[in-house]
Amino acid sequence: MANTFWNDFSWAARGRQRRKVIEILDKPKMATEIKKETHIALTNASRVLVQFEKRAL
């Protein structure tokens, strides 16, 4: 269990866009809201959310 936590943590920390998204996720948000708050492209915001979902984060 702890190993999974550290794997997920290191995966999230390695990505600049993933870090930006984590910093602003204080509640569930749509990709368009993430785009506006982080100034990353909509496709990238959507991709990050899909990646989080695949990893069950």
Question: Measuring CA to CA, which residue among 54, 20, 53 is closest to residue 36?
Answer: 20
Residue type, 30: M
CB 38 within 8 A of CB 20: yes
- Give me the number of domains the chain comprises: 1
Between CA 42 and CA 25 the distance in angstroms is 16
Q: Helix 31-38 to helix 16-24 angle, to the nearest 10 degrees?
A: 100
pLDDT for residue 3: 82
Question: What is the span of the domain harbouring residue 28?
Answer: 2-54
Q: What is the pLDDT of residue 19?
A: 95
Q: What is the pTM of this model?
A: 0.84
At 5-47, the pLDDT tens digits run 999 999 999 999 999 999 999 999 999 999 999 999 999 999 9
